[in-house]
């Protein structure tokens, strides 16, 4: 399985500045253990995982998505800078 992971810097327009977060756009949901392992591997304050709510949607055709955030050790309820990074 190949998973794309992007490292994004929020709150800046300069490389290596701002607040970094990993963003993983996924075609479908994964199991929680795999989310946690990916976040631990990225070792950033948060990793955001985004999936289409409707399984037939894609990132170009869909309009609603599910967003989950993980630190290297646990899932968190919300992360502002990772949410903004995902929107980029």
Cite the active site residues.
46
Helix (H) or strand (E) holding 76: strand 75-76
C-alpha span between 66 and 70 (Å, rounded): 14
């Amino acid at each position: 399985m190949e998973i794309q992971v992007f490292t994004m810097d929020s709150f800046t327009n300069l490389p290596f500045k701002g607040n970094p977060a990993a963003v993983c756009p996924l075609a479908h949901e994964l199991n929680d253990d795999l989310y946690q392992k990916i976040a631990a591997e990225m070792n950033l304050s948060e990793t955001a995982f985004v999936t289409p709510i409707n399984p037939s949607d894609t990132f170009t055709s869909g309009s609603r998505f599910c967003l989950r955030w993980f630190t290297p050790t646990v899932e968190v309820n919300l992360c502002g800078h990772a949410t903004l990074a995902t929107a980029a």
